[in-house]
Amino acid sequence: MSLSYLEVNHFRNLHQVVIEPDAELNIITGLNAAGKTSLLESIFYLSYGRTFRQGQYKDLIMNDQDYFRLISKVSHQHQKSTIGIQRSSKEQLIRVNQRTITRLSDLSSLLPVIALHPDSHQLLSAGPENRRHFMDWGVFHVEHSFLQIWKNYRKALSQRNAALRCHHNDRLCNLWNHALIENAELIDRFRNDYLNKLNERLSFFSERIFPDCKINLEYKKGWPEDISYQMHLEKHLSKDREKGFTQCGPHRSDIKIKLDNKSAQTSISRGQQKKLVALLRLAQLDLFVEHTGRRCILLYDDLPAELDANNRRILMEILSGMQVQLFITAIETSQLDYSGYQSAKMFHVEHGIVSTINN
Ligand SMILES: Nc1ncnc2c1ncn2[C@@H]1O[C@H](COP(=O)(O)OP(=O)(O)O)[C@@H](O)[C@H]1O
Ligand SMILES: [Mg+2]
Domain annotation covers residue 120: no
Domain annotation covers residue 122: no
Domain boundary among 290, 321, 351: 290
* pLDDT tens readout for residues 196-233: 999 999 988 998 888 888 999 999 999 999 999 999 99
User: Which residue has a Cα nearest atom 11 of ligand 1?
Assistant: 13
Residues 34-44 have a mean pLDDT of 98
Domain annotation covers residue 236: yes
* Closest listed ligand to the CA of 31: 1
Domain boundary among 267, 290, 313: 290
* Closest listed ligand to the CA of 28: 1
| 93 within 8 A of 100, measured Cβ to Cβ | yes
Q: What ligand 1 atom has the least distance to the C-alpha of 32?
A: 23
CATH of the domain at 251: 1.20.1050.90
Does the C-beta of 21 come closer than 6 Å to ligand 1?
Answer: no
Residue 12, amino acid: R
Spatial distance between the Cα atoms of 109 and 347, rounded to a whole number of angstroms: 27
pLDDT at residue 358 tops 80: no
Task: Estimate to the nearest angstrom the gap between the alpha carbon of 274 and the chain centroid.
Answer: 15
Q: Measured in angstroms, how far is the CA atom of residue 310 from the centroid of ligand 2? A: 22
Instruction: Report DSSP state, residue 59.
Output: G
Angle subtended at Cα 128 by Cα 127 and Cα 131, rounded to the nearest 5 degrees: 115
- Band (pLDDT 50/70/90 cuts) for residue 118 is very high
Domain annotation covers residue 346: yes
pLDDT at residue 35 tops 70: yes
- Is residue 268 located within the same domain as residue 139? yes
**Of 201, 249, 256, 202, nearest in space to 223 by CA:** 249
Length of the chain: 359
Q: Give me the number of domains the chain comprises.
A: 2
pLDDT at residue 78 tops 90: no
* pLDDT tens readout for residues 93-113: 999 999 999 999 999 999 999
Q: What ligand 1 atom has the least distance to the C-alpha of 30?
A: 22
Q: Measured in angstroms, how far is the CA atom of residue 32 from the centroid of ligand 1? A: 9
User: Which residue has a Cα nearest atom 26 of ligand 1?
Assistant: 33
Residues 140-144 have a mean pLDDT of 93
Q: What ligand 1 atom has the least distance to the C-alpha of 34?
A: 22
- Is residue 355 located within the same domain as residue 249? no
- Is residue 205 located within the same domain as residue 261? yes
pLDDT at residue 276 tops 90: yes
Spatial distance between the Cα atoms of 171 and 238, rounded to a whole number of angstroms: 13
| 152 within 8 A of 160, measured Cβ to Cβ | no
- Is residue 160 located within the same domain as residue 247? yes
Does the C-beta of 59 come closer than 6 Å to ligand 1?
Answer: yes
Residue 118: burial class (beta carbons within 10 Å; 0-12, 13-18, 19+): middle
**Of 129, 179, 189, nearest in space to 155 by CA:** 179
- Is residue 166 located within the same domain as residue 179? yes
- Is residue 166 located within the same domain as residue 214? yes
Domain annotation covers residue 278: yes
Residue 307, amino acid: L
Residues 28-45 have a mean pLDDT of 98
Which domain, by its residues, includes 262? Answer: 127-290
- Is residue 165 located within the same domain as residue 285? yes
DSSP assignment string, 78-92: TEEEEEEEEEESS-E
pLDDT at residue 294 tops 80: yes
Percent of the chain surpassing pLDDT 90: 86
- Count CB-CB contacts under 10 A for residue 173: 22
User: Which residue has a Cα nearest atom 13 of ligand 1?
Assistant: 33
Residue 358, amino acid: N
Q: Measured in angstroms, how far is the CA atom of residue 284 from the centroid of ligand 2? A: 24
Residues 156-177 have a mean pLDDT of 90
Domain annotation covers residue 269: yes
| 241 within 8 A of 79, measured Cβ to Cβ | no
Q: Considering the chain, what is the average pLDDT of its residues?
A: 94
Q: Measured in angstroms, how far is the CA atom of residue 279 from the centroid of ligand 2? A: 21
* Beta partners for residue 67, in sequence order: 88
* pLDDT tens readout for residues 301-343: 999 988 999 999 999 999 999 999 999 999 999 989 999 999 9
Q: Measured in angstroms, how far is the CA atom of residue 36 from the centroid of ligand 1? A: 8
Spatial distance between the Cα atoms of 191 and 221, rounded to a whole number of angstroms: 8
Angle subtended at Cα 350 by Cα 344 and Cα 353, rounded to the nearest 5 degrees: 80
pTM value is 0.96
- Is residue 7 located within the same domain as residue 96? yes
* Closest listed ligand to the CA of 32: 1
Spatial distance between the Cα atoms of 12 and 62, rounded to a whole number of angstroms: 5
Residues 279-291 have a mean pLDDT of 96
User: Which residue has a Cα nearest atom 25 of ligand 1?
Assistant: 33
User: Which residue has a Cα nearest atom 8 of ligand 1?
Assistant: 12
- Band (pLDDT 50/70/90 cuts) for residue 168 is confident
Domain boundary among 275, 290, 305: 290
User: Which residue has a Cα nearest atom 24 of ligand 1?
Assistant: 33
The whole-number pLDDT of residue 121 equals 93
Instruction: Report helix, strand or coil for 118.
Output: coil
